[in-house]
Amino acid sequence: MIHETIVTTAACDGRPHIAPMGARYEDDFVILSPFRPSVTLDNIVASRAAVLNFTTDVRIFAGCVTHCASDWPTVAASRVASIRLAASLAHAELELDELRDDKERPVLRMKCVHRENHAPFTGFNRAQAAVVEGAILVSRLFMLPADKVDREMAYLQIAIDKTAGEVELTAWGWLTAAIARHRESLASSGGSAAELTAH
């Protein structure tokens, strides 16, 4: 089972980095699999630490993958040499236990050394799930056919229209704008109509 989380890390100079990332759990260990190149990977290798943040604020997922908003407030982690989101429902602090290196997608096995709860989970929301799905599509625009992206966004739009609040609408707006920007840049770099539907 993969849980979609926000991973926060700190560079050697303390600069915070925030990235949506899937996490798997194996007992007290968390498995992360960042594709190279990855600032998250570089920061974890250098600091041997990271934090998994559990949040329903889907603007963070959409803001990071669209680069519309990636400087969310962070504070120092309690036990590890890293940072966490200032606002989350809960977080887990991780130390690097093992790096299984790979030229495309290394696997990081991280030991959970500390957990904190900050706020209650208030229930599932379909628009939040739609934004997370949309953010994954946006992070893969370079490899997905345009018609698949359009079909999936049209389906996800139903949950947005029926169940979104302000936060989800903001996040959804960033995603749709990012798709439009991607199409414009393909078109202006000479991408033909065929390429636009084939990429």
Ligand X SMILES: Cc1cc2nc3c(=O)[nH]c(=O)nc-3n(C[C@H](O)[C@H](O)[C@H](O)COP(=O)(O)O)c2cc1C
Query: Is 97 a residue that touches ligand X (CB under 6 A)?
Result: no
Partners of 113 in beta bridges: none
The single residue among 10, 16, 30, 33 that binds ligand X, judged by CB under 6 A, is 33
Question: Residues 151 to 180: which contact ligand X by CB under 6 A?
Answer: none
C-alpha 125: how far from chain center: 18
Instruction: Kindly indicate which of the ranges 19-27, 83-91, 106-114, 148-156 contains the residues binding ligand X, using the contact rule CB under 6 A.
Output: 19-27
Which parts of 67-86 interact with ligand X (CB under 6 A)? none
Candidates 8, 10, 16, 21: give the one binding ligand X (CB under 6 A): 21
Backbone Cα Rg of the chain: 18
Q: Which is nearer to ligand X, 13 or 193 (CB)?
A: 13
The answer to whether the bond into 37 is cis (omega within 30° of 0) is yes
- Amino acid letter at 3? H
Residues 6+ apart with CB under 8 A from 81: 10, 47, 48, 49
Query: Which residue among 31, 46, 90, 132 contacts ligand X (CB under 6 A)?
Result: 132
Helix (H) or strand (E) holding 127: helix 126-139
Site residues for ligand X per CB under 6 A: 4, 19-22, 33-35, 38-40, 61, 65, 132, 135-136, 139
